[in-house]
Amino acid sequence: MRIHPAIAPLIDLVFPPRCPLCSEAIAVQEGICAACWSELSIPGHPCCAACQRPFTDPVDDNSLCAVCLAEPPRHDGIAAATLYNEPSRRLVLAFKRGGNIALAPWLARLIEARLPPVGADWLAVPVPLHRWRLWSRGYNQSALLAGEIARDLGMSMLVDGLLRVKQTPSLGGLGARQREQALKGAIAINARHAERLKGAKIVLVDDVLTSGATSEACVRALKRAGADKVVIACFARVLNESLPG
């Protein structure tokens, strides 16, 4: 939700802008304070040419990380606004579980800064929630981000291009292999949009990329449906060497 400039002064008067992480006063309703910003981990170069995993040492622009060398990815790149750490975790929790949907425009702009060039011929597709979880939470945080990205970059959004057809347990605390097992058969293409997905270039949007099991299931479904390219876009990325199992 974005605040119209005409009413922004009134909103600021009634609800003075505060950093969502530390509650310090800030200049505008969106964003975080300078101190908290400095604690975010922003990925950059050098990085893997296939998945943008950061490297610690200078490498050639076409270098691949060990993960991509061992198993070439189905996706066509990962655009992560931040690497997962304590401040990014708290932002995600405030957005996803705390109901602070006003964070969506700012989080989306951070993601957009990491995306490769995309245009109006691309589709923004959010990672889906199962209908029971959607009803209990009231919104799909990935769909909110996808909507902001689509609007900012002039793309179309296909909010129900993917469906979560099987309810899965909470993936928090599960290792990579457990997540993969839990997601078997859980993601499917919405048959109503099958024709539109053929040959499409897609930005697959999620809030957090953890083990990659969810995004892998989504990419697999989209590529089987004939999608030409699928770039994964997320706010926070967990490097899978930090996961158990």
Domain count within the chain = 2
Same domain, 66 and 156: yes
Same domain, 131 and 21: no
CB neighbour burial string for 229-242, b if at least 16 within 10 angstroms, e if fewer:
bbbbbbbbbbbbee
Q: What is the pLDDT of residues 33-85, one digit of tens each?
A: 999 999 999 988 889 989 989 888 888 888 999 889 999 999 999 999 999 99
Q: What is the pLDDT of residues 115-161, one digit of tens each?
A: 999 989 999 999 999 888 888 888 999 999 999 999 999 999 999 99
Same domain, 28 and 124: no
Same domain, 157 and 231: yes
Helix/strand/coil (H/E/C) assignment for every residue in 156-174: EECCCCEEECCCCCCCCCC
Same domain, 216 and 133: yes
Same domain, 97 and 127: yes
pLDDT category at 232 given cuts 50, 70, 90 is very high
Same domain, 4 and 97: no
Same domain, 63 and 4: no
pLDDT category at 9 given cuts 50, 70, 90 is very low
Same domain, 26 and 46: no
Residues sharing a CB contact under 8 Å with residue 10, sequence separation 6 or more, in sequence order? none
CATH label of the domain that carries residue 237: 3.40.50.2020
**Domain range enclosing 16:** 1-39
pLDDT category at 5 given cuts 50, 70, 90 is low
What burial class does residue 9 get, using C-beta atoms within 10 Å of its C-beta: 0-12 exposed, 13-18 middle, 19+ buried? exposed
Helices (H) and strands (E) in the chain, counts: 10, 7
Amino acid at 12: D
Q: Which of 134, 147, 121, 144 is nearest to 199 (CA)?
A: 121
Question: Is residue 220 helix, strand or coil?
Answer: helix
Q: What is the DSSP string of 128-163?
A: P--HHHHHHHSS-HHHHHHHHHHHHHT-EE-TTSEE
How many other C-beta atoms lie within 10 A of the C-beta of residue 72? 10
Same domain, 88 and 102: yes
Same domain, 18 and 97: no
41-to-54, 145, 166, 235, 241 alpha-carbon distances in Å: 11, 20, 34, 11, 16
Same domain, 4 and 74: no
| CA–CA dist 207, 218 (Å, integer) | 14
Q: What is the pLDDT of residues 194-222, one digit of tens each?
A: 999 999 999 999 999 988 889 999 999 99
